[in-house]
């Protein structure tokens, strides 16, 4: 009887959610507050002693809460989990779904950050991995994308066998090592 060595347990490296600005909650809050304030001001001036407007105000406020709840639920249900063996993206409240990629399949990690993302600290991470054919995962609105990219690259390098290890440099500022940006 041969006893096989137990596989070491999987360790959680980092878990992130979308950045609050990337969810789009800030502009929805501003619009809802302005519309509700304008509606209440108009209705109070039109009929200050009438309670007939109370159901309409209640309806508008309830609809506003629903509009605000959607991005909050999106933020709450979306998460990216990086372990020492795999990358998992989970999302969805009504129809939960998850996508898992083994780190040994990761071939390229690219970070795109726009102007607002530079100021507020979020960006988009593009993860290319080996499948049939090559596939790409787009992670929008990830806080501190360079940190997440560095961890993902480090653990992908550790998980890959030496002959298939990604050949990117260790400099985290390099966006795509195979592209010559000097031309």
pLDDT digits (tens, 9 = 90+) for 87-131: 999 998 888 899 999 999 998 999 999 998 899 899 999 999 987
pLDDT above 70 (res 21) = yes
Q: What is the average per-residue pLDDT within 29-48? A: 75
Asked if residue 53 belongs to a domain, the reply is: yes
pLDDT score at 176: 44
Asked if residue 45 belongs to a domain, the reply is: yes
d(CA 63, CA 55): 12
Joined tokens for residue 144: 């501190």
Range in 14-18, 137-141, 151-155, 170-174 with the lowest mean pLDDT: 170-174
Q: Are 109 and 157 in contact, with CB atoms under 8 Å apart?
A: no
Q: Are 145 and 125 in contact, with CB atoms under 8 Å apart?
A: yes
d(CA 36, CA 106): 48
Spatial CB neighbours of 172, under 8 Å, sequence gap ≥ 6: 146, 149, 150, 153
Asked if residue 3 belongs to a domain, the reply is: no
Asked if residue 182 belongs to a domain, the reply is: no
d(CA 158, CA 160): 6
Average pLDDT, the chain: 80
d(CA 61, CA 114): 34
Asked if residue 63 belongs to a domain, the reply is: yes
User: In a 10 Å sphere around its CB, with 0-12 CB exposed, 13-18 middle and 19+ buried, how is residue 122 labelled?
Assistant: buried
Residue 161, number of CB atoms within 10 A of its CB: 7
Name the residue with higher pLDDT: 171 or 95: 95
Domain, as residue range, for 47: 12-175
Asked if residue 97 belongs to a domain, the reply is: yes
**pLDDT band at residue 162, thresholds of 50, 70 and 90?**
low
Joined tokens for residue 117: 């993302």
Structural domains in the chain (count): 1
Closest CA to 153 of 132, 127, 178, 123: 127
Instruction: For the chain, state the CA radius of gyration.
Output: 23
pLDDT above 80 (res 36) = no
The verdict on whether omega for the bond into residue 133 sits within 30 degrees of 0, i.e. cis, is: yes
Asked if residue 4 belongs to a domain, the reply is: no
pLDDT above 60 (res 165) = no
Spatial CB neighbours of 38, under 8 Å, sequence gap ≥ 6: none
**pLDDT band at residue 177, thresholds of 50, 70 and 90?**
very low
pLDDT above 70 (res 173) = no
pLDDT score at 133: 77
Asked if residue 7 belongs to a domain, the reply is: no
Give the CATH number, domain containing residue 71. Answer: 2.30.29.30
pLDDT above 80 (res 73) = yes
Please give the share of the chain, as a percent, with pLDDT higher than 70.
79
pLDDT above 50 (res 180) = no
pLDDT above 60 (res 172) = no
Strand order in the sheet with 122-129: 106-112, 122-129, 135-143
Q: What is the average per-residue pLDDT within 119-148? A: 90
pLDDT score at 134: 79
């Amino acid at each position: 009887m041969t006893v096989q060595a137990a596989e070491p347990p999987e360790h959680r490296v980092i878990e992130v959610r979308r950045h609050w600005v990337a969810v789009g909650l800030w502009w929805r809050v501003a619009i809802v507050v302005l519309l509700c304030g304008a509606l209440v001001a108009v209705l109070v001036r039109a009929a200050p002693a009438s309670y007939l407007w109370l159901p309409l105000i209640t309806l508008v406020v309830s609809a506003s809460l629903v509009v605000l709840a959607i991005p909050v639920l999106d933020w709450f249900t979306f998460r990216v989990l990086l372990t020492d063996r795999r990358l998992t993206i989970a999302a969805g409240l009504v129809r939960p779904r998850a996508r898992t990629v083994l780190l040994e399949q990761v071939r390229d990690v690219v970070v795109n950050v726009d102007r607002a993302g530079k100021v507020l600290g979020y960006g988009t991470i593009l993860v290319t991995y080996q499948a049939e054919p090559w596939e790409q995962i787009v992670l929008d609105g990830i806080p501190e994308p360079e940190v997440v990219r560095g961890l993902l690259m480090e653990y992908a390098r550790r998980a890959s066998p030496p002959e298939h290890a990604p050949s990117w440099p260790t400099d985290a500022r390099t966006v795509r090592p195979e592209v010559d940006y000097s031309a």
